[in-house]
Amino acid sequence: MNNLDLREYITSILANGHRIDGRKLEEYRNPIEIKTGISKNAEGSASARIGETEVIAGIKIGVGTPFADSPDEGVLMVGVELLPLSSPEFESGPPGEQATELARVVDRGIRESKMIDMKKLCIRKGELVWMIFLDIYTINDDGNLIDACALAALAALKESVLPVLKDDKVVFGEFTKTKLPLTRIPVTCTLYKIDSYFLVDPSTKEEKVCDARISICMTENDNICAVQKGGSKGIKIEELDKAINIAKEKTKELRSILNNSSVK
Amino acid sequence: MVQAKKTEKAERSDGRKLNEMRKMEAKVGIIKRADGSAMFKIGTTVALAAVYGPRELFPGFMQNPEKGILRCNYDMLSFSVTERKRPGPSRRSVEISLVTKNALGSAINLDQFPNTVVDVFIMIVQADAGTRCAGITAASMALADAGIPMRDLVSAVSVGRINGKIVIDLDKEEEDYDGTTDIPCAFMSRNNEITLLQLDGDISAEELKQAVELGKEGCKQISEIQKKALKERYKEIKNE
Gap between the Cα atoms of A13 and A260, Å rounded: 34
* Total domains in the fold of chain A: 1
Residues B197, A240: C-beta atoms closer than 8 Å: yes
Structural domain including A221 reads 3-262
Taking only the tens place, the pLDDT of each residue in B88-106 is: 889 999 999 999 999 999 9
So what's the pLDDT on residue B2? Answer: 37
Taking only the tens place, the pLDDT of each residue in B4-50 is: 343 444 579 899 999 999 999 999 999 888 999 999 999 999 999 99
Distance from CA of B197 to the nearest CA of A (A): 5
- Of the partner residues B106, B194, B201, the one whose CB lies closest to the CB of residue A225: B201
Residues B212, A229: C-beta atoms closer than 8 Å: no
Any chain B CB within 8 A of the CB of A249? Answer: no
Q: Search chain B and give the residue with CA nearest A186.
A: B202
- Of the partner residues B195, B199, B204, the one whose CB lies closest to the CB of residue A227: B199
A139 or B82, greater pLDDT? A139
Q: List the 62-101 stretch of A: residues with Cβ below 8 A of B.
A: 95, 97, 100-101
Gap between the Cα atoms of B24 and A236, Å rounded: 26
Residue B16 lies in a domain: no
Instruction: Find out whether B196 and B185 touch, Cβ atoms under 8 Å.
Output: yes
Instruction: Find out whether A57 and A153 touch, Cβ atoms under 8 Å.
Output: yes
Any chain B CB within 8 A of the CB of A243? Answer: no
Alpha helices in chain A (DSSP H): 3-14, 97-112, 145-159, 204-209, 237-261
- Of the partner residues B94, B95, B106, the one whose CB lies closest to the CB of residue A233: B106
Tell which residue, A162, A176, A192, has the closest CA to residue A28. A192
Give me the DSSP letters along chain B. -HHHHHHHHHHSTTS--TT-PPPEEEEE---TTSSEEEEEEETTEEEEEEEEEEEE-SSGGG--SSS-EEEEEEEE-TTSSSSPPPSS--HHHHHHHHHHHHHHHTTB--TTSTTEEEEEEEEEEE-SS-HHHHHHHHHHHHHHHTT--BSS-EEEEEEEEETTEEEES--HHHHHSTT-EEEEEEEETTTTEEEEEEEEEEE-HHHHHHHHHHHHHHHHHHHHHHHHHHHHHHHHHHH-
Residue B137 lies in a domain: yes
Does ipTM exceed 0.85?
A: no
Other CB atoms within a 10 A radius of the CB of residue A202 amount to 25
So what's the pLDDT on residue A262? Answer: 59
Residues B95, A101: C-beta atoms closer than 8 Å: yes
Residue B11 lies in a domain: no
Give backbone dihedrals phi and psi of B117, rounded to 5 degrees, phi first.
-130, 145
Gap between the Cα atoms of A92 and A113, Å rounded: 32
Q: Name the 3-class secondary structure at A188.
A: strand
How many Cα atoms are found within 13 Å in the side-chain-facing hemisphere of A49?
9
Residues A97, B94: C-beta atoms closer than 8 Å: yes
Any chain B CB within 8 A of the CB of A193? Answer: no
Tell which residue, A13, A50, A55, has the closest CA to residue A29. A50
Gap between the Cα atoms of B28 and B40, Å rounded: 9
- Of the partner residues B105, B194, B203, the one whose CB lies closest to the CB of residue A224: B203
Structural domain including B218 reads 24-239
Taking only the tens place, the pLDDT of each residue in B166-186 is: 999 999 999 988 889 999 999
Contact residues for A176 (Cβ-Cβ < 8 A; gap 6+): A161, A162, A163, A164
Distance from CA of B183 to the nearest CA of A (A): 8
Average pLDDT over every residue of B200-210? 96
Any chain A CB within 8 A of the CB of B81? Answer: no
- Of the partner residues A97, A228, A233, the one whose CB lies closest to the CB of residue B198: A228
So what's the pLDDT on residue A134? Answer: 96
Residue B199 lies in a domain: yes
Gap between the Cα atoms of B235 and B240, Å rounded: 9
Any chain A CB within 8 A of the CB of B125? Answer: no
pLDDT by residue for chain A (264 residues), tens only, comes to: 677 789 999 999 999 999 999 999 999 999 999 999 998 889 999 999 999 999 999 999 999 999 999 999 999 999 999 998 899 889 888 899 999 999 999 999 999 999 999 999 999 999 999 999 999 999 999 999 999 999 999 999 999 999 999 999 999 889 999 999 999 999 999 999 999 999 999 999 999 999 999 999 999 999 999 999 999 899 999 999 999 999 999 999 999 999 998 544
Contact residues for A108 (Cβ-Cβ < 8 A; gap 6+): A217, A225, A226, A228, B200
* Total domains in the fold of chain B: 1
Any chain B CB within 8 A of the CB of A4? Answer: no
Residue B15 lies in a domain: no
How many Cα atoms are found within 13 Å in the side-chain-facing hemisphere of A258?
26
Gap between the Cα atoms of A30 and A248, Å rounded: 19
So what's the pLDDT on residue B196? Answer: 98
Any chain B CB within 8 A of the CB of A220? Answer: no
Residue B175 lies in a domain: yes
CATH number at residue B185: 3.30.230.70
Any chain A CB within 8 A of the CB of B61? Answer: no
Torsion of CA B126, B131, B133, B135, to 10 degrees: 60
Gap between the Cα atoms of B210 and B216, Å rounded: 10
Any chain B CB within 8 A of the CB of A244? Answer: yes
